[in-house]
Amino acid sequence: MINFGKYDQKVTFITFQAVSDGAGGTTLTPITSLITFASVKQTRADNGLESGQMVLPNTYEVRIQYRTLFTPSLNYQIFYASKYHQITSIRLDELRQHKEYVITMIGV
């Protein structure tokens, strides 16, 4: 059985596309691929993350429901809490009849 109450944060999966600025150059513009609800938790620092925490202080674990029409990849960034976050890892958890993606992201 799915516990929909745990998905309480809104996240947006985006990519950046080069768009002409009219003066011969280009500007990177965010393109929204998916807006969904997720479970977002800040991870604790351990010895492996300690040095990275100084440079990248915001490390999160994001859980979203599995969708057949959307597969997250490292090419996406996640817009959460008014900031862009880079995806560092993605795995698919299968719990009985429920599947969800577990994504690790860091602040950019």
Contact (Cβ atoms closer than 8 angstroms) between residue 98 and residue 83: no
Out of 3.30.70.100, 1.10.3720.10, 3.30.497.10, 2.40.10.270, select the CATH number for domain 4-107.
2.40.10.270
Taking the chain (108 residues) in runs of 10, the rounded mean pLDDT of each run is 78 94 91 96 64 61 93 96 94 84 89
Task: Please name which of 75, 74, 94, 87 lies closest in space to residue 31, comparing C-alpha atoms.
Answer: 75
Q: Report pLDDT digits (tens) over 69-79.
A: 999 999 999 99
Task: Please name which of 12, 34, 16 lies closest in space to residue 26, comparing C-alpha atoms.
Answer: 16
DSSP H helical ranges for 1-91:
47-55
Q: What is the pTM of this model?
A: 0.80
Contact (Cβ atoms closer than 8 angstroms) between residue 6 and residue 39: yes
Torsion from C-alpha of 98, 80, 72, 104, nearest 10 degrees: -80
Q: What is the pLDDT of residue 26?
A: 93
The residue extents of the domains of the chain are: 4-107
Q: What is the pLDDT of residue 56?
A: 44
